[in-house]
């Protein structure tokens, strides 16, 4: 019994010693789990950042820069439209730069920044903020530039431009650069929903470069964006083009081989009753001086002079209708007049591929029936050389040069050898006086135009 009591006492004493050994270790073992007061570093408010720059960029944004602040984890950016106004938060960022994409065009803004730091306390997580730094002002906000995305080729004399949208723009200016020249404004697009423009006024076979500038207009305020990127385009074309009161003709090499300027003096030399053996002489003179004329041909003679008709047409001369057998049309019925006109049209088309667009009645005779039946404009004259009566080259030369005016229509006959001879002098003298020798259709296109059944004596300016 005594032995059992001793064993129990000894066990109790041993357990007491063990508890005394373990107890001092408890505070150090669980020290991290017992909250205590924040140390000095944890309670430090982050430093106030200082804005180093505010820049208005050409893409319509404002960029704000500042130096990193001590103990800061992130930054809050404030904005106001005036230095003394209330500043409202617009963004929070861990970076030291902020891009403001919501600024209005032509406005000045003021910015402030504060530092932010988050810490853990007994009560939970808290945010420490520095004071706001001194305000920095921006310049007037710029308008966002656009991007010229593409130039689409439409028909031979059409370029369609497409560009991106500038969000605050009220319109766009289209600029074009011709070879060797500076950019020039060619259009103003006032509707902001339309981001395209079709250029119809350029010369074919010439490379042009385009740019777009957005603009913002309100009251007396006009703000322009910087220019977009530039794109170039060239349209290849063979044939005739009319542009800015000028007519251009392009060959298969895409080069302009003839130009008629509607702003300069023009005169129409017309020859009746051909084609004839002397027609080639007139054509050679016209070619030498790069000029053109209108030949009113008799249909029954066309098949005999196919090569002459083809040569005249290829040189840029106009082939007009002078009936098939040269009758007095005022003595003909409506159906006979139609027949005279149609037969000549067919004869000419078989050779040139094109039907005559103008007509001159034989002997200058016409009435209401003739005007109704021919189906084209009727071409008279303002200078009558009467070469068929005089058969004098000298007289023909004098009458043409004395009667020449800007817009005159001169009547001669290529069936007369005297007129073919006179043309060798008339053509270079008119050119020296500054006249362009053009066809009837060219003159009409660059002046008043023509209508079917109407009689034209001249195209005076």
Strand-pair category, 196-199 with 207-218:
unpaired
88 lies in the same domain as 233? no
Domain boundary residue among 222, 237, 252? 237
Which range marks the domain in which residue 349 is found?
263-456
Residue 354 DSSP class: S
129 lies in the same domain as 189? no
pLDDT of residue 42: 59
pLDDT of residue 79: 97
**Which residue, among 327, 323, 328, 319, has the nearest Cα to 300 in the 3D structure?**
323
**Which residue, among 305, 322, 427, 413, has the nearest Cα to 364 in the 3D structure?**
322
User: For residue 302, how far is the Cα from the chain centroid?
Assistant: 46
pLDDT of residue 415: 94
- The answer to whether position 294 is within a domain reads yes
99 lies in the same domain as 197? no
Count of domains for the chain? 3
304 lies in the same domain as 396? yes
What whole-number distance in Å separates Cα of residue 318 and Cα of residue 434? 21
Which residues are 78's β-sheet partners?
Answer: 89, 112
pLDDT of residue 158: 85
pLDDT of residue 193: 67
Domain boundary residue among 237, 255, 280? 237
347 lies in the same domain as 439? yes
Structure tokens at 367: 């009435």
What confidence tens digit (pLDDT) does each residue in 159-174 have?
Answer: 999 999 999 999 999 9
Residues of the chain with pLDDT under 70: 1-43, 154-156, 192-193
Burial 192-228 (b: 16+ CB within 10 A, else e): beebebebeebbbbeebebbbbbbbeeeeeebebebb
278 lies in the same domain as 418? yes
Tell whether omega for the bond before 130 is within 30 degrees of 0, i.e. cis. Answer: no
432 lies in the same domain as 286? yes
356 lies in the same domain as 422? yes
184 lies in the same domain as 322? no
412 lies in the same domain as 277? yes
- The answer to whether position 3 is within a domain reads no
- The answer to whether position 4 is within a domain reads no
- The answer to whether position 36 is within a domain reads no
pLDDT of residue 194: 79
- The answer to whether position 258 is within a domain reads no
Which residues are 437's β-sheet partners?
Answer: 267
- The answer to whether position 431 is within a domain reads yes
418 lies in the same domain as 335? yes
CATH of the domain at 62: 2.60.40.10
Burial 378-399 (b: 16+ CB within 10 A, else e): bbbbbbebebeeeebbebbbeb
Those residues whose C-beta lies under 8 Å from the C-beta of residue 285, and which sit 6 or more positions away, are 423, 424, 427, 428
Q: Are 399 and 242 in contact (CB under 8 A)?
A: no
372 lies in the same domain as 406? yes
What whole-number distance in Å separates Cα of residue 64 and Cα of residue 112? 9
Domain boundary residue among 237, 254, 285? 237
Mean pLDDT taken over the chain: 91
pLDDT of residue 157: 74
- The answer to whether position 295 is within a domain reads yes
- The answer to whether position 40 is within a domain reads no
pLDDT of residue 15: 58
Structure tokens at 165: 């949208």
């Amino acid at each position: 019994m005594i032995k059992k009591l001793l064993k129990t006492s000894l066990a109790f004493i041993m357990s007491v010693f063990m508890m005394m050994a373990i107890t001092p270790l408890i505070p150090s073992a669980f020290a991290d789990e017992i909250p205590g007061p924040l140390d000095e570093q944890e309670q430090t408010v982050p430093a106030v950042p200082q804005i180093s720059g505010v820049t208005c960029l050409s893409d319509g944004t404002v960029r704000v820069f500042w130096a990193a602040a001590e103990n800061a984890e992130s930054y809050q950016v404030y904005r106001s439209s005036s230095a003394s106004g209330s500043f409202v938060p617009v963004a929070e960022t861990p970076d030291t730069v902020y891009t403001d994409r919501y600024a209005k065009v032509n406005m000045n803004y003021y910015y402030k920044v504060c530092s932010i730091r988050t810490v853990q306390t007994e009560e939970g997580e808290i945010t420490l903020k520095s004071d706001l730094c001194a305000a920095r002002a921006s310049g007037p906000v710029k308008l966002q530039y656009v991007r010229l995305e593409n130039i689409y080729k439409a028909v031979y004399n059409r370029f369609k431009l497409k560009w991106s949208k500038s969000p605050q723009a009220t319109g766009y200016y289209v600029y074009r650069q011709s070879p060797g020249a500076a950019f020039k404004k060619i259009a103003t697009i006032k509707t902001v929903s339309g981001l395209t423009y079709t250029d119809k006024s350029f010369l074919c076979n010439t490379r042009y470069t385009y740019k777009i500038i957005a603009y913002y207009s309100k009251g007396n305020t006009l703000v322009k964006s910087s220019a977009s990127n530039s794109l170039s385009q060239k349209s290849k074309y063979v044939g005739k083009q009319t542009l800015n009161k000028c007519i251009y003709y392009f060959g298969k090499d895409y080069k302009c081989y003839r130009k008629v300027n509607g702003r300069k003096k023009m005169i129409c030399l017309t020859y009746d009753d051909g084609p004839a053996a002397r027609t080639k002489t007139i054509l050679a003179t016209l070619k030498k001086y790069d000029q053109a004329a209108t030949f009113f041909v008799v249909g029954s003679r066309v098949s005999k002079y196919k090569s002459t008709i083809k040569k005249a047409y290829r040189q840029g001369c106009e082939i007009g209708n002078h009936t098939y057998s040269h009758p007095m049309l005022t003595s003909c019925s409506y159906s006979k007049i139609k027949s005279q006109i149609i037969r000549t049209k067919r004869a000419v088309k078989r050779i040139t591929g094109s039907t005559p667009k103008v007509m001159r009645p034989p002997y200058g005779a016409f009435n209401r029936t003739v005007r109704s039946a021919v189906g084209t404009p009727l071409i008279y004259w303002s200078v009558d050389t009467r070469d068929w009566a005089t058969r004098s080259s000298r007289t023909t030369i004098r009458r043409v040069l004395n009667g020449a005016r800007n817009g005159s229509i001169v009547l001669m006959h290529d069936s007369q050898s005297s007129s073919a001879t006179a043309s060798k002098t008339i053509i270079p003298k008119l050119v020296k006086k500054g006249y362009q020798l053009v066809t009837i259709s060219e003159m009409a296109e660059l002046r008043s135009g023509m209508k079917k059944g109407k009689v034209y004596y001249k195209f005076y300016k």
